[in-house]
Structure 1
Amino acid sequence: MTNRTNDPTLLLIPGHWLGAWAWEQVVDHLTAAGRHAVPVTLPGLDPQDPQRATRTLDDQVAAIEALMDEVGAAPERPVVIVGHSGANAPVSQLLDRHANRVARVIWVDSGPVAPGTVFAPDLDGELPLPPLDLLRAQASLDGLDDQMLAEFRRRAVPQPGPVLRQPVRLSGDAHLRVPTTLVCCSLSGAQMTELAQSGHPMFAEVAKLEHAQTVDLPTGHWPMWSRPADLAELLATASATDED
């Protein structure tokens, strides 16, 4: 790999039910550290969009592509993509198309998905934020107090059905060659590596990554709220690492 710039723009892509607002504290810390970070609200997650519920995975990928164009992402000036949780579908597809415009991908309690992956093929309609007990059964809420959870509930937007029913389309293995940092929160890096090496289907693509490192940030599934300063520091450090 050739050397990359050590101060690239970070594009922050949130997971399910979230918009750019989810990254507010992280952006504040990154800005204070002199880093340029742009949080994203993907199509389908803007509550003011009258066509919100019909947005597709392709729409989300196109929106990230447009933002990359806007910030001038190019092979000689690549950006860093930060993908949280369910952002792994659009981000994996984006990397497949634009690997040469990305200096590094940082997965936050997430990771790349395999071609053909469909999150919810039988979903009828949208996917709203589940009740608290069900959400807790699906993902760790460690570090989130009642106020944080109430704000999450207040601002969460249902995931559009078309996004969750559309398969991830990958044309090759370019996404596996992008330098990768996995910020491990719900699981440790050692646990993730062990699952990947044992052939666990959820981590199948992690095992194939050619330039990957893990960084532990012990907390729940939403570290942008539970440990925003620490997450910002990890993002700044990882995104400033050159690859040879």
Structure 2
Amino acid sequence: MTAEQIVLLGGLWLDGSVWADVVNELGERGRRAVPVTLPGQGDGNNSATLADQLTAVLAAVDADPGRSVLVGHSAACTLAWMAADARPERVATVVLIGGIPSGDGQPYADFFEINDGVMPFPGWRPFDGADAADLDEQARQVFAAAAIPVPEGVARGVVRLTDERRFDVPVVMVCPEYTPAEAQEWIAAGEVPELTRATHVEFADIDSGHWPMMTRPAELARILASV
């Protein structure tokens, strides 16, 4: 049987190139990875919407005749979950790295101030602590310089979920700046309704900050290859 393709979705301010080292590591493990540069996050389209991003993800899923492993990072955990909702029969597993999926009717990523129709990277203060602990000053400067402002139509887009078959799609939570035990507590307490209703959730720990594709690509690829 042909292994499922692995579709990689970066979080806010990132384009598909952030996955380059992970893609190479997965290739060495015999896995085919497809990093997606989301509309509005690398193509210069500041008018892109959340619906545009979902369309791009579904195009990657539909381009493969088999089923896909969808990997969402940070805010894009919700995007991966939206794609599983739209194509539950075509998604083998959803992998959530450093994030949890929002529910139907909630804003996608309205986290920071919007300026001139986009949400710029807000600087490192909101990420003080475990999030950025494994990024040195040079890495932070490189990240900030390359960060792509997220279009307002993406950040303030409204999540729509309609197919309850999504709850039967297996989920793997990759836990970077928090522990699997903490994630399990959130789910058990009902703080993550979408995952509380999911029928099969597993957990993988990774010793990193919020961006393991940058700081622990080999370890992250090992986890993804095992899915």
- Output the TM-score relative to the length of structure 1: 0.86
Work out which of the residue numbers 156, 177, 187 in structure 2 matches 1:186.
177
Cα distance in 1 for partners of 2:124, 2:157 equals: 27
Shift of 1:36: 0.5
Partner of 1:131: 123
Cα distance in 2 for partners of 1:27, 1:67 equals: 15
Tell me the C-alpha RMSD between the 2 structures. 1.8
| Highest RCO, 1 vs 2 (Cα 8 Å, sep ≥ 6) | 1
Secondary structure of 2:82's counterpart equals helix
1:186–1:218 Cα contact (<8 Å) kept? yes
Aligned residues: 224
2:75–2:99 Cα contact (<8 Å) kept? yes
Structure 2 unaligned segments of length 5 or more: list them. Answer: none
Q: Return closer, same or farther for 1:199/1:81 CA change in 2, 3 Å cut-off.
A: same
For the pair 1:43 / 2:39, whether they are aligned, the reply is yes
Name the aligned partner's letter for residue 6 of structure 2: L
Shift of 1:92: 2.0
Q: How does 1:208-219 map to 2 (within 5 A)?
A: 208-219=197-208
Work out which of the residue numbers 125, 142, 150 in structure 1 matches 2:133.
142
* Percent identity of equivalent pairs: 34
Shift of 1:199: 2.7
Secondary structure of 1:113's counterpart equals coil
Q: Return closer, same or farther for 1:108/1:121 CA change in 2, 3 Å cut-off.
A: closer
Work out which of the residue numbers 7, 25, 30 in structure 1 matches 2:26.
30
Work out which of the residue numbers 16, 21, 40 in structure 1 matches 2:17.
21
For the pair 1:106 / 2:99, whether they are aligned, the reply is no
Shift of 1:150: 1.9
Work out which of the residue numbers 144, 160, 167 in structure 2 matches 1:153.
144
Partner of 1:242: none
For the pair 1:176 / 2:172, whether they are aligned, the reply is no
Partner of 1:8: 4
